[in-house]
Amino acid sequence: MHEWGGQRIAVLVPCYNEAATIGDVVRDFRRALPGAVVHVFDNSSSDGTAGIARDAGALVRAVSDQGKGNVIRRMFADVDADIYVMVDGDGTYDAGAAPQLVAALLAGGLDMVVGARVSDERAAYRPGHRFGNRLLTQCVATLFGRTFTDMLSGYRVFSRRFVKSFPAHSAGFETETELTVHALELRMPVAEVATLYGARPEGSESKLNTWADGLRILFMIARLFKAERPLLFFSLGFAGCALLSVLLAIPVLDDYLRTGLVPRLPTALLCAALMLFGAILLTCGIVLDTVTRGRAEMKRFAYLLHAAPRPPVEQG
């Protein structure tokens, strides 16, 4: 504790059926961060994960609502600390990098430091997961501006003000996307540090479904786009409706200019309806943009209620 200027460090480990690895994870992080309290939040495991974590020296709490996002919501609400280290309980992340991540957060007065996964082991980071991560990370970068190279990493360090201002809407593995967008929306000072990433040990199985969870993350990005960038989101709908209306109206207008008649009345009505619907979408975007700005200010105020991380004072 003295090494970090007396600041309280909590290691948060969300777990579901990680009996094969959780004991080593708890012991490794207790060694890497002496004085830190390791909290294991067990998500209704059926393989004795909770008991093994408790025997290894962790404080264990149960979360009945299934899903990593639900677990993180409880962790952030229940644990009180100055610095939070979040890591998966599957034994794939390097506990030895934790002091470096914490030091980076304190030295820079940052609110989040992401442990970007670096691995040469094919079994550790499958090509499908790697490609999906890059694709989804690029989607977030396109919609929300600068982002990280490994948006879906489960190894992160947070400041207190990040944790206590995080709304935590998601239920599953899409929670990492929500964490990233929260930091980008409030323009928090963040950083990324390369960390070793290993394969799961024998007897440990991944709970991540490449396609199902990938689609959930994609839908989460779309929902966050609508919620955080409503003017742009609904303007795209307006542009699509207006363009389609104009394209359909060209032959109708041509007939009218040549004959003075409107023989394609249903098409003319469809063009008018599309343009009207587009105008409604644009109006919704303008109104919701005003609401979103007010909501962003409230989140900013909640964020500023807590002091920024401070570096340890050197003893002369």
In a 3-state reduction of DSSP, which class is residue 172? coil
Q: What's this model's pTM, rounded to 2 decimal places?
A: 0.83
Q: Which residues contact 96 (CB under 8 A, 6 or more apart)?
A: 28, 32
Going by the DSSP 8-state scheme, the letter that residue 310 receives in this structure is: -
- Tokens representing 246 are 């104009």
CA atoms of 171 and 40, how far apart (whole Å): 18
CA atoms of 170 and 72, how far apart (whole Å): 9
Q: Say if residues 192 and 113 touch (Cβ distance below 8 Å).
A: yes
Closest CA to 85 of 38, 146, 118: 38
Which pLDDT value is given to residue 218?
Answer: 83
CA atoms of 3 and 162, how far apart (whole Å): 22
Q: In what order do the strands lie in the sheet with 83-86?
A: 59-62, 37-42, 9-15, 83-86, 156-159, 112-118, 190-196
Which pLDDT value is given to residue 82?
Answer: 95
What's the one-letter identity of residue 225? F
Which pLDDT value is given to residue 204?
Answer: 57
Which pLDDT value is given to residue 53?
Answer: 96
Which pLDDT value is given to residue 213?
Answer: 65
pLDDT along the chain (316 residues), means of 10: 72 94 96 95 93 96 93 95 95 94 94 89 57 79 81 93 91 87 92 88 64 77 88 96 96 90 91 96 95 89 87 59
